[in-house]
Chains A and B, each alone.
Chain A
Amino acid sequence: MEAQIWQANIIPFRDSPSQLRYNQTVAARYEILEHPADVGLLARGTSLAELFENAAAGMMEIAVEPDGVTEHEQKRIVAEATDREALLVNFLQEVLWLVDGEGWLARRVAVTEISDTRVSATAFGEPRNPARHAMRLIIKAVTYHQLSVRQQSEGQQSEGWKAEVYFDI
């Protein structure tokens, strides 16, 4: 059972040209939030479905540089929970599972059905390839820390949905 030592597992030290733009709204879909030890996300959407899609996109951008990831393959994602907030956590955990459990990166997630307690979606992406995919941070888990999923009330400037979620890294 002696391990094979090979040198191909070195991911060359690199100065990534595309900076992860912290604290800067990227097309207002999501922004990264400050936290002493971990990383948070503030996601937005005009509908609950879009909110979930943008949250997934934000989380994936924390984990890997999106530019290198193509949409060759599709995978089905289903999550359930007793309430909307837990649903977001469970949904994001499914996307995260693909990364760490199946070595598969989602470039984009499209929600097909959503309610307060169940969501189904299709993830478009491909298997992880160290040669093409610049991994940024290993996200250990999605947490319930300061978790919120809120609908902006009518009459406010921007209608739609907002969510805040933190990741353990």
Chain B
Amino acid sequence: MIPLEKIQKLDDYRYLIPRGTRPGMRTDALVYADAGLLEHIVKDLSLEQAVNVATLPGIVGRSLAMPDIHQGYGFPIGGVAATDWHDGVVSPGGVGFDINCGVRLLGTSLSQQDVRPRLRELVLQLFRDVPCGTGGQGHLKLSTAELDHLLVHGAQWMVEHGYGQGADAEFIESGGALEAADPAKVSDRAHQRGRPQVGTLGSGNHFLEVQFVQRIFDQEAAEALGLNPDQVVVLIHSGSRGLGHQVCTDYVKLMHGAMQKYGITLPDRQLACAPIQSPEGQDYLGAMAAAANYAWANRQGITHFTRRAIRRLFGEQTAVRVIYDVAHNIAKRERYQLEGEREPRDVLVHRKGATRAFPAGNPEIPARYRHVGQPVLIPGSMGTASFVLVGAEGAMRETFGSVCHGAGRMMSRTAAKKGRNAKEVQQALEEQGILVKSETRDGILEEVPEAYKDIDAVVEVVHNAGLAKKVARLRPMGVIKG
């Protein structure tokens, strides 16, 4: 446990664990939180993990922790760490097992009033049309060659094969495909796990939620993004399924072997890493990019099935467009001008349970949104709220263009299930106007709102710390999960 006395309050939203706190730390750890959230944060090992991350060779800037931080393996979830592209390391644990677990928001031309009378029908239709994949299989059957093309072209491959609309990929982070993808670095096993799972939602905390825009905070940004009050939107939270998990497993194993070769020792085995400029490091980045593309292709498939289900019920004229899609488990090569340095530096930004949040003017942002900033999608758990924000200048200055990714778990799955009954939970949600359809009983129990931190508090911190600005608050109407 990091004792509270060792944590220095810098201001209402920033807490510092200075470099000397633990031997081996090459830099400080900085936590974005308010006093209330910090009280919970110190209860698990997340700060220990943030401190361990500060020992990574080649780390640039601080080890950063977002307000939704919770214990992961190696890296905390809600952690950000940048390493020097030339002499730093890459750590698969800094990306996570679910490579490019992320969120996509679809905007429709429907309003709450249009959908409420037919909500149950819509939820059932979506449950039928969007496979969760707990049975192992989706609707698409790809050959290995097709899968390899998909691993290179990501979302665009799906659009070109009939699973999307022309402009979809434009509104995805990185256009829905990372260039560095190398299918040859993805093992046979990962291929085998991935082939039958394209276009499936997954289980655990993955879900598809029909929501309505409850409140707008920033009128100009909302208009640019195409959000209006009472509008019905769909939030998709899903990742790279078995393929990504296998890639991470394969490379963590490989890097354990490599660490001795490169003379790296670390306080936590799960921080297994290799120099970025090493065969192991480059191979991992190639495989990771392929897995990231798989996840974007996956969310594209789900988008297609969702669009079709909505149009089936509400008519072919119903508009369903991609507002944006963000990754929250990924490592990206980016360039930053650091304080006190003359030239900008290339770094590898590890975002594990953290979302990119570029401010207005950044060329990576789709032209339509560039004047307001990059959309940031923050999913809540069932029964609470989700948020749309846009990146702000503070993120570029302080957090390598990053913010939180969600509300963060507080309660273990076993605790969430104690004394609760799935039917009761489902009924309680129905009374709030939220319909849930889950493939498993546990799917409902584990995701009770109490198991998560207060999302409004988490979002307030990033807003007040100047990392991102609130645009809209979304409330769930219907949820499907595995």
Query: Does A141 count as interface, using CB distance less than 8 angstroms?
Result: yes
A136 to B129, CA, bound (A): 21
Kindly list chain B residues whose C-beta atoms are within 8 Å of the C-beta of A3.
139-140, 199
Query: Does A161 count as interface, using CB distance less than 8 angstroms?
Result: no
A135–B422 touching, CB < 8 Å: no
Count of A-B residue pairs with CB < 8 Å? 123
Which of B292-300, B384-392, B410-418 lies at the interface with chain A? B410-418
Seen from chain A, the residues whose Cβ lies within 8 Å of a Cβ on chain B are: 1-5, 7, 9-11, 13-16, 20, 22-23, 32, 34-39, 82, 86, 90, 93, 97, 100-103, 128, 130, 135-138, 140-145, 147, 166, 168-169
For chain B residues 71-121, which have a beta carbon within 8 Å of chain A? 71-74, 77, 97-98
A97 to B189, CA, bound (A): 8
A5 to B139, CA, bound (A): 7
For chain B residues 1-59, which have a beta carbon within 8 Å of chain A? 44
Determine the residue in chain B with the shortest Cβ distance to A11. B439
Seen from chain B, the residues whose Cβ lies within 8 Å of a Cβ on chain A are: 44, 70-74, 77, 97-98, 127-129, 131, 134-137, 139-140, 161-162, 189, 192-193, 199, 202-204, 242, 245-246, 248-249, 252-253, 256-257, 269-270, 272, 409-415, 417-418, 422-423, 437-442, 482
B270–A143 touching, CB < 8 Å: yes
Complex partner residue of A10 from B127, B204, B248, B422, CB under 8 angstroms:
B127
Kindly list chain A residues whose C-beta atoms are within 8 Å of the C-beta of B128.
5, 7, 10
> Can you add 13 more A-B contacts, CB < 8 Å, to A141-B245, A143-B270?
A10-B127, A10-B128, A11-B135, A13-B438, A36-B44, A37-B70, A37-B409, A100-B245, A103-B136, A137-B442, A145-B270, A166-B73, A168-B73
A104 to B410, CA, bound (A): 33
Complex partner residue of A13 from B139, B253, B437, CB under 8 angstroms:
B437
What's the nearest-Cβ distance from chain B to residue A146, in Å?
8
Complex partner residue of A137 from B70, B204, B272, CB under 8 angstroms:
B204
B412–A100 touching, CB < 8 Å: no
Complex partner residue of B204 from A23, A34, A128, A169, CB under 8 angstroms:
A169
17 contacts between A and B (CB under 8 A): A1-B162, A3-B140, A15-B441, A20-B442, A22-B417, A34-B412, A36-B70, A37-B71, A37-B412, A86-B256, A93-B249, A101-B193, A135-B135, A137-B204, A137-B442, A138-B202, A145-B270
